[in-house]
């Protein structure tokens, strides 16, 4: 029935929701905690650590990461909760979380792996645009900050259309697709 009535993206989401419900989970990772659409980082961390790894979905993770506000203290608290669980994850999921939340020293190796994946399988659309006046001479550290600004930050007070970038860009960017 799913194959005939719904487009592929919706079929994937319905299958994911069905699997989550069957496993006793009634909330997607990306479900916002605030009316404007953002997700409290520590709530995300708690949800993530409660998920069995086989139920993780790249699109849901990408949407959840986009909904995390650019609040360093809250992101650091979320990372403190997530860091012990990183080792049990597939490299792509681990790198996505590390790039989004880890301190720079821990995130730089994940960024390097991401860049190597992009060299082997280039994205089909631009992922990072350097703003005019920004220097690209900061090495991996400078690129990491640019990556986080362009990919992971959003304005929770912006209008709905401009609040979150397209989830597929993040999934592509961190190699989840």
Cα distance between the two ends of the chain: 25
> 40 or 149: whose pLDDT is higher?
40
Give the global pTM: 0.69
Provide the pLDDT confidence category of residue 117 given band limits of 50, 70 and 90: confident
Q: What is the mean pLDDT of residues 74-93?
A: 91
Question: What is the overall mean pLDDT for the chain?
Answer: 75
Question: Are residues 29 and 51 in contact, defined by beta-carbon separation less than 8 angstroms?
Answer: yes
Look-up of token digits 């640019």: 146
Q: Which domain holds residue 64?
A: 2-173
Q: Per the structure, how many domains does the chain have?
A: 1
Cα–Cα distance between 119 and 158 in angstroms, integer? 34
Residue among 30, 78, 84 nearest 57 (CA): 30
**pLDDT tens digits, 26-54:** 888 999 999 888 999 999 999 999 888 88
* Beta carbons within 8 Å of 94's beta carbon, 6+ residues apart: 86, 87, 110
Mean pLDDT of 117-139: 60
């Amino acid at each position: 029935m799913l194959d005939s009535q719904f487009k592929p993206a919706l079929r994937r989401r319905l299958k994911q929701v069905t699997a989550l419900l069957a496993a006793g989970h009634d909330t997607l990772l990306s479900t916002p905690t605030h009316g404007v659409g953002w997700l409290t980082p520590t709530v995300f961390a708690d949800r993530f650590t409660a998920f069995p790894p086989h139920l993780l979905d790249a699109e849901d993770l990408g949407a959840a990461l986009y909904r995390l506000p650019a609040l360093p203290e809250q992101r650091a608290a979320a990372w403190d909760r997530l860091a012990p669980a990183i080792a049990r994850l597939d490299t792509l999921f681990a790198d996505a979380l590390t790039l989004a939340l880890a301190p720079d020293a821990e995130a730089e190796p994940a960024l390097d792996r991401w860049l190597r994946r992009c060299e082997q399988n280039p994205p089909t659309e631009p992922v990072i645009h350097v703003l005019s006046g920004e220097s690209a001479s900061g090495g991996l550290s400078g690129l990491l900050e640019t990556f986080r600004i362009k990919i992971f930050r959003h304005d929770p007070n912006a209008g709905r259309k401009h609040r979150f970038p397209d989830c597929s860009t993040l999934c592509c960017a961190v190699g989840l697709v």
